[in-house]
Chain A
Amino acid sequence: MEGTRPTGDGAIVSPARFEAAFQQHFPPIYRFIARRVGPALAEDLAAETFAIAYRRRAAYVPGRGSLRSWLYGIATNLLRNHWRAEQHLLALDARLLPEIDLSDGSDAVDQRVTAALLAPRLAAALGQLSREQLDVLLLYAWAELSQEEIAVVLEVAPGTVRSRLSRARAALREQLGDFDFDLWTFEGPGGAPARKGRGHARRD
């Protein structure tokens, strides 16, 4: 689970506790934001997330949810103001031509080829989701919050989270289309030969 350590998750009012929370959670929060809106904007938004957290630190009650889910909630709220930037980035990623480093000739090249060819399709698929679906999907997949935690963060019913997640995953699978999870192979554009990797199987 990204960004979690077995440290205490208590109140963060004292400077020392806040500093510890900052040290622990800043990298994953930054990465979460950077993946969605790019590194330039992520610096601003990640900094603003923790500035807001500092101002509101007395409002965080450990018994109502984990600290990291509270922080992801602040970050997600900030990201909503940048929906267009996120969509723009996904649209750009969807049009990217993959750059693949084939220099080392190892088996890992197969994985990189697959990943590079898959990335634009994944971006296109994410770009098709609604804002609500995208929030739920990425909080689940990237922040690794539970559905219950996501419900608290987004202030919606757990059933709503379940249905949004289910629809988002179905839409993603549909968009990924012929991607073969079993063999980790991909039929490249223009009928390029499929590359075969190792050890991935599809869940049905």
Chain B
Amino acid sequence: MPDEIDVLRRFRDETPGPSTDAWLRARAAIAAARSDQQRPARARGRWPGRPGPLPLAAGAAVAAAVAGLLVVLLPGPPAIRPGGPIRTTAYVTRVEHALTSSRAGNLVGYARTVLPPGSRIQLQRGNMSSGPGVSSPLAVAVTVTWSYHDTSTTIGFAPGGQRVFAAEISPVPGGTGSQEVAVFYGDETWWRATTPAPGGPGPAPTCGHGIQIGPGGWRAFIRFQLRCGNFRAIGRQRAGAEPGTVAPGRQRVDGVSTLKLSGANGTVLWVSPATYLPVRVIVGGRQPTQIDFRWLSPTRANLAALSVTVPAGFRPVEPP
């Protein structure tokens, strides 16, 4: 016979199951745990994390990515510690593992960047730049970037919300370079360009020098910053932990629980405590830039956001 327990169960049965996103987040969290356990104990440290040296193994790959074809330079902190010993905490290491895991690589990255007031963006063949000294008619307040594997699309919005430009960059089949399509809504023009792959790894980026977004997108940028040692976990020190190791402070960002990591010169990174993927980053300075991230399933709709379509009647022009 039914009773108060049956009433409770009735309401339980109406709760929806996990979404695809929830499944992916759980798998990413397990992958991060697996990756953490597979590292040698010497590098892994003890819970909640003993600082240890972080090898610069992927330096060349990161350098190649950042020196690549789509570069955003924003006002950022001056270069710090270009070289020298790099130390990190287990929490920071987990963020890097989350960013490099194959599961994260199969998510569609969505980044919404709020630029400082008065920002202008310059699009040229092979790069996109914003910051001091940029002369461009493109006044942009917000950019939205969708990225999946090596393809990314950035859409710029004016302070009033109108589209200013859309630019897609994707690899040329065969890996010989990249192709770009840029559409400008103000003067109704567009151009297409193909850029050959650089002959070498390109110049190495400098730790802490602004924001440089290559084909690896924000994921590669944050990974590089982590490898530079530019982020530290902040928060309470756990009882019994070694001096200098801390548990990150927990904060809610837009209602979502996060761990907060502090960076150099006011840069702050908030990550999901479950997946360690970035939720928000604020790049410091007098005019901070805020970037909010979402990691989405590669659904047909999300993948469609990666394609830039040239509107009918727009005039083709030569790429600058």
By a beta-carbon cutoff of 8 Å, the part of chain A in contact with chain B is 2, 18, 22, 26-27, 30-31, 34-35, 39-48, 50-52, 54-55, 115, 118-119, 122, 137-138, 140-142, 169, 172-173, 176, 179, 181, 200-203
User: B1-42: which have CB < 8 Å to A?
Assistant: 1-12, 14-19, 21-23, 25-26, 28-30, 32-34, 36-37
Contacts of B274 in A (CB 8 A): 43-48, 51
* Cβ of B272 under 8 Å from chain A: yes
Given A40-B256, A203-B2, A46 contacting B7 (CB threshold 8 A): no
CB distance from A104 to the nearest CB of B (A): 17
Q: Which residue of B lies closest to A38 (CB)?
A: B255
8 Å CB contact of A54 from B18, B30, B256: B30
8 Å CB contact of B3 from A22, A47, A203: A203
Contact between chains at B18 and A27 (CB < 8 Å): yes
8 Å CB contact of A43 from B3, B6, B25, B30: B25
Contacts of A115 in B (CB 8 A): 10-11, 14
By a beta-carbon cutoff of 8 Å, the part of chain B in contact with chain A is 1-12, 14-19, 21-23, 25-26, 28-30, 32-34, 36-37, 255-257, 272-275
Q: List 19 A-B contacts (CB under 8 A).
A: A18-B30, A22-B26, A26-B26, A30-B22, A31-B15, A31-B16, A34-B18, A39-B16, A41-B256, A43-B25, A46-B18, A50-B29, A115-B14, A122-B7, A142-B8, A169-B4, A181-B3, A202-B3, A203-B2
8 Å CB contact of B22 from A47, A137, A140: A47
Contacts of A26 in B (CB 8 A): 18, 23, 26
Contact between chains at A22 and B12 (CB < 8 Å): no
Main secondary structure on chain B at its contact with chain A?
Answer: helix
Contacts of B37 in A (CB 8 A): 54-55
Contact between chains at B17 and A30 (CB < 8 Å): yes
8 Å CB contact of B32 from A30, A42, A51: A51
Seed contacts A30-B17, A42-B22; 7 additional CB < 8 Å A-B pairs: A22-B26, A35-B12, A48-B274, A50-B26, A118-B7, A142-B12, A201-B2
CB distance from B291 to the nearest CB of A (A): 20
CB distance from A27 to the nearest CB of B (A): 5
Within the assembled complex, what's the spacing in Å between the Cα atoms of A176 and B11?
14
Q: Which residue of A lies closest to B23 (CB)?
A: A26
Q: Which residue of A lies closest to B255 (CB)?
A: A40
Contact between chains at A44 and B256 (CB < 8 Å): yes
CB distance from B315 to the nearest CB of A (A): 45
CB distance from B264 to the nearest CB of A (A): 27
Within the assembled complex, what's the spacing in Å between the Cα atoms of A118 and B11?
10
Given A31-B17, A35-B15, A202-B2, A47 contacting B26 (CB threshold 8 A): yes
CB distance from A53 to the nearest CB of B (A): 8
Q: Which residue of B lies closest to A19 (CB)?
A: B30
Within the assembled complex, what's the spacing in Å between the Cα atoms of A201 and B19?
35
Contacts of B8 in A (CB 8 A): 122, 137-138, 141-142, 172
10 tightest A-B CB contacts, nearest first = A47-B274, A47-B29, A51-B29, A203-B3, A47-B26, A141-B8, A30-B18, A203-B1, A54-B33, A51-B33
Within the assembled complex, what's the spacing in Å between the Cα atoms of A202 and B274?
43
CB distance from A139 to the nearest CB of B (A): 11
Contacts of A34 in B (CB 8 A): 15-16, 18
Query: Which one of B1, B3, B4, B34 has the highest number of Cβ atoms from chain A below 10 Å of its Cβ?
Result: B4
Within the assembled complex, what's the spacing in Å between the Cα atoms of A47 and B18?
11
Query: Which one of B11, B36, B255 has the highest number of Cβ atoms from chain A below 10 Å of its Cβ?
Result: B11
Contacts of A176 in B (CB 8 A): 4, 7
